[in-house]
Structure 1
Amino acid sequence: MIEVVSVINAAAATVFDLELDIDVHAESLAKSRETATTTTGRRQLGLGDEVTFGARHFGRRWNMTSRITAYNRPYHFVDEQTRGPFRALRHEHYFEDLGDIRTRMIDRMTIRAPLGPLGAVATRMLLAPHLRRLLVERAAHIKRLAETADHGR
């Protein structure tokens, strides 16, 4: 499991909404030329919505589709891969109100790679560190947007 914890000087609802905004998601990972397309055409994801991400990692273009499988605004949501490169991927997002308009954002990602023992080694040595870096970059972007008066938009 990968876990990234951030403290953000903004209300939980603000941080929650930014995390579910596909344009913000694409902006946060611009280095990998991230794209995001929803099944609904809406920018903001909700329960049951699917989004397909495309990005360049390890010199190759990857696509992954995830569905929002749990949604309790502004405290928690979960997205899970329905199609993509992993045997399984579950990403849990938690938002804890710390008072004084501060939020603790917790990202927990569990992945299982294909290819049995070889996939497990690749996950530990290559995929998990890479995904952790992406989550840290994304959290820093969310923090910057949430802490500005106009949310950077």
Structure 2
Amino acid sequence: MPRIAIQTEIKANRNIVFDLSRSIDLHKISTEHTNEKAIAGKTSGLIGMDESVTWRAKHFGIYQNLTSKIIEYERPKYFADEMVKGAFAEFKHEHHFAESNGGTLMTDYFNYKSPFGILGKLADKLFLKKYMTELLTERNRIVKQFAESEKWKEIITE
């Protein structure tokens, strides 16, 4: 099962980074290039324990729906979401937040299993792991941008 690990240093309070990371609205901003929209479940605001969201997005020229649910939650240190329904055979995305150098070290672990057996494994090697790494890196870039400026106040209003 492929595993993607990404660490991002952010010069901002851990609570702010944690909340931005679970913001449906910020996720929409970070995935504008895939035309991602929340279409069911929690469709705006901050997602929490046992809540789910269904995303509709265009990847590789095909629109697809993916539903994920928050299955673990310990504010402001950690949360995890897991695919309930979608294109992957399975995935779990862990979000870790540690205080570091007066800011926050955000660490993502994205574990997934592609569908289609050996063809899925080939897709992982050829393009899927790189594609998913780029999506997560862009998401983290947007979290960092908002957290390190006053823009986070546009997102976190609860």
Same structural fold, with TM-score higher than 0.5 when normalized by the shorter chain = yes
User: What TM-score results when the alignment is normalised by the length of structure 2?
Assistant: 0.91
Aligned residue identity for 1:138: R
Distance 1:79 1:38 in 2: 16
Q: Percent identity?
A: 34
* Shift in Å, 1:125: 1.7
Number of equivalences: 152
The question of whether the paired residues in 2 share the 8 Å contact of 1:40 and 1:49 is answered with yes
Unmatched tracts of structure 1, length 5 or more? none
CA–CA distance in structure 1, aligned partners of residues 34 and 42 of structure 2:
24
CA-CA distance at 1:149 after TM superposition = 2.4
Whether the aligned pair in 2 keeps the contact of 1:38 and 1:49 (CA below 8 Å) is no
Aligned letter for 2:77?
Y
Partner of 1:51: 53
Matched to 1:25, the amino acid is H
From the superposition, tell whether residues 104 and 38 of structure 1 become closer, same or farther in structure 2 (CA, over 3 Å).
farther
Letter matched to residue 30 of structure 1: E
- 1:65 partnered with 2:67: yes
- Aligned Cα root-mean-square deviation (Å): 1.3
Specify the code of the residue in structure 2 equivalent to 1:106: T
Query: Does 2:128 align with 1:114?
Result: no
SS in 1 for 2:140: helix
Residue identity opposite 1:147 in structure 2: E
Contact 1:22 1:37 survives alignment (8 Å) = no
- Measured after TM superposition, the shift of residue 150 of structure 1 is 4.2
Structure 1 stretch displaced more, 113-122 or 83-92: 113-122
Corresponding position of 2:29: 27
**Number of the residue aligned with 1:140:** 141
User: Where do 5+ consecutive residues of structure 2 fail to align?
Assistant: none
